[in-house]
Amino acid sequence: MKIYKLMLTTAIGVVVAMGFGTGPAAAKGKLNYYCSAQEDWCQLMAKGFEKETGIKVNMSRKSSGETFAQIKAESRNPKGDVWWGGTGDPHLQAAEEGLTEPYVTPIRGELNGWAISQAKSADDKTIGIYSGALGYGYNADVLKQNNLPVPACWKDLLKPVYKGHVQMANPNSSGTAYTTLATIVQLFGEEEGFEFMKGLHKNINQYTKSGSAPIKAAARGENTIGIVFLHDAVKQAVKGFPIVAVAPCEGTGYEIGSMSIIKGSRNMEEAKKFYDFALRADIQSRALEVKAFQVPSNKAAKTSPKAPKLADIKLIDYDFKKYGSSSERKRLLKKWDDEVKSLAK
């Protein structure tokens, strides 16, 4: 019989391994929470909800792209209940592909107009929870070292003196960079916008994969100017890095961080409870505890004096419906790949 010992062990091992841990449970008072914002903010929301309602929250934090890929892969047998945070485009895309559930919160009246129009453009399958304007940040020390002028507008970035000093993410991989591309196209018109991107290409030292990487590199002196969301730039400045945030003079686009309920959720009641919870003013005010400087969607929520104020920034009328749709996205990205990325620097 000895000859079977090893194989038995292996077989039993595999079976044991397969059973290790608990399977997905549908017990009462439980919420599977997918979070695409920064880790500590996610934790804060989860703990806060748990404390207030006694519902056990299982949190998993991934970037919005990763979460979208996961929800799509799981669509035949959904495991998540609510998806909170992350830039609005993947949420809109999820709505477009029918992966999320429509829901109208009773406290919709307390919200800013942009949050509601986000919901309306997706047939109530998503809603805005925060927003942040696009812009760029520069490292003041590095700028001085290289004797560079202080930039104030989008067009300033085209000046030859900045050659090799500007960084942005690749719009194919990053939602932030796609928002940049869409903003420039809406701001200057498609033709002139692409001319702008071509000019910018000459000054770019690297297209990063992740959206906030350019400003982090700038913070550590590895880069001079990073095109990012302003709240990301402010965050580095608050941490003590010599970063200055710039809202470009021509005007700029913005993102709407969103929240959606996953279609086929096994804990629909809890998911809706969380949804209402996350939109309340007192809850949104707590974002300041974790240095999240986005603009909250609830009008009554507190903001930090350090945070960039949307009112002071010239915002364009960003068409989320059009530029969030997958066909327009694919077209712009392909055009960018063919006409901009393939140019010699």
Q: What is the DSSP string of 211-271?
A: TTHHHHHHHTTS-SEEEEEHHHHHHHHHTT--EEEE--TT-B-EEEEEEEEETT-S-HHHH
Q: Is 160 in the site for another protein (CB under 8 A)?
A: no
Within 222-251, the residues that bind another protein by CB under 8 A are 222-223, 236, 239-241
Count, residues in the chain? 345
CB under 8 Å to 67, separation ≥6 — which residues? 34, 36, 83, 86, 90
Closest to 286 measured CA to CA, from 82, 130, 93:
130
**Nearest distance, CB of residue 214 and another protein, angstroms:** 12
Q: Is 39 in the site for another protein (CB under 8 A)?
A: yes
**Nearest distance, CB of residue 300 and another protein, angstroms:** 28
**Nearest distance, CB of residue 68 and another protein, angstroms:** 7
| Residue nearer to another protein on the CB measure, 200 or 310 | 200
Within 302-341, the residues that bind another protein by CB under 8 A are 326, 329-330, 333, 337
Q: What is the DSSP string of 258-315?
A: EEEEETT-S-HHHHHHHHHHHHSHHHHHGGGGGT--SEESBTTS---TTSPPGGGS-B
Closest to 304 measured CA to CA, from 243, 230, 203, 242:
230
| Residue nearer to another protein on the CB measure, 68 or 275 | 68
Within 207-226, the residues that bind another protein by CB under 8 A are 207, 209-210, 212, 216, 219-223
**Nearest distance, CB of residue 108 and another protein, angstroms:** 29
From 2-10, 186-194, 273-281, 313-321, give the range in contact with another protein by CB under 8 A: 2-10
Within 45-74, the residues that bind another protein by CB under 8 A are 57-63, 65-66, 68-70, 73-74
| Residue nearer to another protein on the CB measure, 173 or 285 | 173
Closest to 180 measured CA to CA, from 342, 36, 310, 323:
323
Per-residue CA distances from 210 to 84, 172, 253, 291 (Å): 19, 10, 19, 20
For another protein, the binding residue among 170, 183, 265, 284 (CB under 8 A) is 170
| Residue nearer to another protein on the CB measure, 54 or 77 | 77
| Residue nearer to another protein on the CB measure, 250 or 328 | 328
| Residue nearer to another protein on the CB measure, 31 or 119 | 31
Torsion angle (degrees, nearest 10) of CA 237, 214, 209, 196? 130
Q: Is 109 in the site for another protein (CB under 8 A)?
A: no
From 126-134, 153-161, 170-178, 277-285, give the range in contact with another protein by CB under 8 A: 170-178
Query: Residue 125 and residue 164: Cα distance in Å, rounded?
Result: 42
From 32-40, 119-127, 151-159, 293-301, give the range in contact with another protein by CB under 8 A: 32-40
Closest to 169 measured CA to CA, from 125, 128, 216, 122:
216
| Residue nearer to another protein on the CB measure, 263 or 329 | 329
